[in-house]
Amino acid sequence: MREIVFDTETTGLDPVNGDRVVEIGCVELVNRVTTGAIFHAYFNPQRDMPAGAEAVHGLSIGFLESKPLFAETAGELLDFLGEAPLVAHNAGFDFGFLNAELARAGLTPVCTSRMVDTIALARRRHPGAKLSLDALCTRYGIDRSHRVRHGALLDAELLAQVYVELTGGRQIGLELATARVETDAAASGPVTRVAGRAGGEFREPRPHAASPDELERHRAFLEKIKSPLWTG
């Protein structure tokens, strides 16, 4: 089953009152294993950046003003999302902003029936516990030492690990279907990368049939067994 874990960074808390998405990061899972495929983009919000928001994610208007508008890359984003369930932490927030941007671009909003909220999953599994992404990473032993500030792709990568643990778990760091994806924070447009299968030299299968000498020794051994079960 294909699922997309995603996160957004914004200019504030309310898309209805003019706050905009400035970054989105998406990570693909297939059967709860990361595949190495990502979508990552920054956007020019065409408005100011409140100091409080910039303190959270570190994205200034000076950095963002050269980035594309959301509408210019919305098609690529929707192609990456496909029809997969969309996993987010406090998903109502991210869905609200995503759909507000799609509406501004004249595109159909994403149906909320596709929404998977990891806060709701964590609340059911760990009632009364802290439910922040940092707290869940600590609970599950997920390394977040490189998370100095919020970043959409970094948070999506961490959340993908948390989501796997919340839904059954697997050994952290066991990368069955993924290669590490490096991202360029200064990319001028969206980035979609798929890690390829590691190359390797083909090896012929080793012979495994018994040799005539081995067959003869096996026959001689069987003759020494008195009243074997397979002849009773």
- 61: CB partners within 8 A, 6+ apart: 45, 48, 49
Q: What is the mean pLDDT of residues 200-214?
A: 66
Cβ contact 159:5 at 8 Å: yes
> Percent of the chain at pLDDT above 70?
80
The more confident residue out of 187 and 80 is 80
pLDDT digits (tens, 9 = 90+) for 127-143: 999 999 999 999 999 99
Long-range own/partner contacts, residues 91-96 (CB < 8 A, 24 or more apart): 91/115, 91/116, 91/117, 91/118, 91/119, 91/120, 92/117, 93/8, 93/13, 94/6, 94/7, 94/8, 96/15
Return the CATH number of 2-197, one of 3.10.450.50, 3.30.565.60, 3.30.420.10, 3.40.225.10.
3.30.420.10
Q: What is the mean pLDDT of residues 46-75?
A: 96
What pLDDT is recorded for position 195? 45
- In this model, does residue 176 exceed pLDDT 80? no
- pLDDT category, 79, cuts 50, 70, 90? very high
pTM higher than the cut 0.85 = no
- In this model, does residue 172 exceed pLDDT 90? no
Domain boundaries, the chain: 2-197
Report angle CA 143, 57, 61 to the nearest 5 degrees: 150
- The whole-chain average pLDDT of the chain stands at 85
Cβ contact 46:22 at 8 Å: no
Comparing CA positions, the residue from 19, 18, 20, 23 lying closest to residue 8 is 23
- In this model, does residue 208 exceed pLDDT 80? no
- In this model, does residue 85 exceed pLDDT 50? yes
Cα–Cα distance for residue pair 39/24, rounded to 1 Å: 8
What pLDDT is recorded for position 214? 78
Token duo for residue 22? 């400035």
Residue written as token pair 């003759």: 223
**Is 146 a known active-site residue?**
no
- pLDDT category, 213, cuts 50, 70, 90? confident
- Span of 3-7, 58-62, 119-123, 179-183 with lowest mean pLDDT: 179-183
- Span of 55-59, 70-74, 113-117, 225-229 with lowest mean pLDDT: 225-229
What pLDDT is recorded for position 218? 78
Helix (H, G, I), strand (E, B) or coil at 165: helix
- In this model, does residue 204 exceed pLDDT 70? no
Catalytic one among 57, 150, 208, 218? 150
- 149: CB partners within 8 A, 6+ apart: 56, 57, 58
- pLDDT category, 207, cuts 50, 70, 90? low
